[in-house]
Structure 1
């Protein structure tokens, strides 16, 4: 074999290679620090977890304070609403009581009037109801059917006008007669 070959011989296989030399020089260049051997440990800044926990604590305290403020505000509003509701309830009860008292007083007065009328024996209504209805219906024509319905056409025929005049005269005479009868009864 010649010297110029780059092949390795068997005797060089177990020996150091070129790669081993390069690794040794690289390791020698990087200085190693032993943290256990140093007297003061290296101080580090807060990690991401610490920052996250701090942020969450700030948010939690802010929520707690705003929740407490909202609760106090809600309680104040509830107290105002309860006071207003109680006041309205008292006003309604007072109005209902006043209405009850007024109604009972009116009922008592009406009963006293009726009792006084019964005791004196006088009629309050001076004429009969039928005479009153005839008096009110005197300006209307009535149908001949049962029940008699009053009506008044827009244009009256001559015989309808005569009939209406007769009704008015008859109702006026009946009303006057009923009044005279009442006056005569009243004086006796």
Structure 2
């Protein structure tokens, strides 16, 4: 089932997610719905707070980026061909490498894209959808998507990384989103 995306301005997007246990109700269905919602919205990642769930769960599919890249982009990123994975109760163990800029967007903040600086590499501890524990290091585009989605379960948004002047310039657009004056190509829930 395709779920509506929570728009900027909703309190849940600023709330730290809570850890879940294997008996979380309908978890397999929720993850399946998150994949369906992410693909229907043309996203490469989706976190539970974006579908109005205050839990530490996100899904990513960086393989889509590599499948759709231009010929001259091939081989540019170390994580090619990408990763498709669900992350539950993720915690960052280490950030490493140089910071690099990449133009990010967010399904909860439609029609706004900005360059964001993030580290090249992230090491995470997490459990998968079967609650098997993992500790794994990711880099490149995959690390970037993970860090973006991880921020969601920490109550942060990519616009928090922008300089104050840039955020001030975006204030009108952000206010329009929170008031439901911006439309996306997917169903959204706007703050009351």
Q: Which has the larger radius of gyration?
A: 1
Instruction: Judging by fraction of residues, say which structure has more helix.
Output: 1
Instruction: Judging by fraction of residues, say which structure has more strand.
Output: 2
TM-score w.r.t. the length of structure 1 is: 0.19
TM-score w.r.t. the length of structure 2 is: 0.18
